[in-house]
Amino acid sequence: MALLVAIPMAFIPAFFFSWFLYWLDRYEKEPRWLLLITFFWGGFVAIIGTLIVASIFEIGFSLVLNDAVLEDIAGGSITAPLVEEFMKGLAVMVVFFIFRKEFDSVLDGVIYGGIAGLGFAATENVFYFMGQYADGGWGAMFTNFFLRVGVFAWGHPFYTAFTGLGFAVARMNRNVLVKLAAPVIGYLLAVFAHAFHNTSLVFVSGLGSLALIILLEWASWVFFLGFIIWLIRHEQGLLKKHLREEITNGLINEAQYKTAISFFQFGARMSALSSGAYRATDHFYQYLGELAHKKEQITKFGDERGNAAIIEKLRGNIASLAPKAKT
């Protein structure tokens, strides 16, 4: 019975938070199927990999330290950050190398990293909820839910977003040194943030110190949200820059341009929904976002892996949908 309660308690909030990240990706959304794969990589592949590798670390610490308290601290402050962030970060690396055409901006890296972190958190929370239920019943389980899904909800996606950020910087840069260093630096930042959280909780001595930790972590998350908003504004600038030319070319009109660069596009969505043109409108503005990003990439990197052909295909798709798209 407890397992049937623990699974939705862990996964429903994780899916909601994932939707929020998906919503934040305003102008060039990632494929839902790829985000789902990334989520389940975090929730299953990364969890299994962590259990195997962490067990090896634990045996090593047990042989070296031979002290239960020190072993717990080492497990939380060293093993968990190093291993978990590596396993979650592999999801971003797979997207980076295999689905490179879907990795179009710095924001994409943050989204993929955050989604992988949420998948990991969901499965990990099931284990924690079940453990708390075994120790203290329903009260302990719901208290743990409040802490892990309420107070510290954005921990894992925040940590792994740094790894995603590192890969994204590498993707958007031509300098070989930056390409090699950025993913490593991103991973190390993820490990540091994760280790800070785990280590600080070890030394909590009362409500005051716990409140300070919560304040610091929430301040970090809010700051990072501000950084995401800045990235969104940057992407809006790319659309303004590259779609203006498409008005001159006759591909889109002024009203469609203004809707494309709008943050909410609420009016167009509602009009499309009421007229039965939602799918066409949704695809139209998605293609415009992709077109702007591909034009930026061809400016920076040239005809990288067929960017020119992709641009022409996008223009064809946009031209066919333009008469149906709502503004």
- For 222-266, how does the pLDDT look when each residue is reduced to its tens digit (9 = 90+)? 999 999 999 999 999 999 999 999 999 999 999 999 999 998 887
Residue 68 has pLDDT above 90, yes or no: no
Retrieve residue 131's tokens: 């453990």
pLDDT at residue 148 in the model = 95
Instruction: Report the distance separating Cα 112 and Cα 38, nearest Å.
Output: 7
Q: How many CA atoms lie within 13 A of 214 on its CB side?
A: 12
More confident residue, 158 or 61: 158
- In this prediction, residue 235 carries a pLDDT of 95
Q: CA dist 185 to 42, 108, 156, 162, Å?
A: 20, 17, 17, 8
pLDDT at 164 over 80: yes
Assess whether pLDDT exceeds 80 at residue 206: no
Return the minimum-mean-pLDDT range out of 32-41, 156-165, 212-221, 300-309. 300-309
Distance of CA 98 to the CA centre of its chain: 17
* pLDDT for position 271: 79
Question: Which of the residue ranges 57-61, 91-95, 217-221, 268-272 would you say has the lowest mean pLDDT?
Answer: 268-272
Mean pLDDT across 181-201: 96
Name the residue type at position 326.
Answer: K
User: What is the chain's mean pLDDT, rounded?
Assistant: 93
The Cα 284–Cα 323 span in angstroms is 10
The predicted structure's pLDDT at residue 225: 96
pLDDT value of residue 203: 82
Q: Which pLDDT value is given to residue 19?
A: 97
Closest CA to 235 of 29, 62, 45, 93: 29
d(CA 308, CA 148): 46
Question: Which of 153, 149, 115 shows the shortest CA–CA distance to 132?
Answer: 149
Between 145 and 75, where is the model more confident? Answer: 145
pTM assigned to the model? 0.94
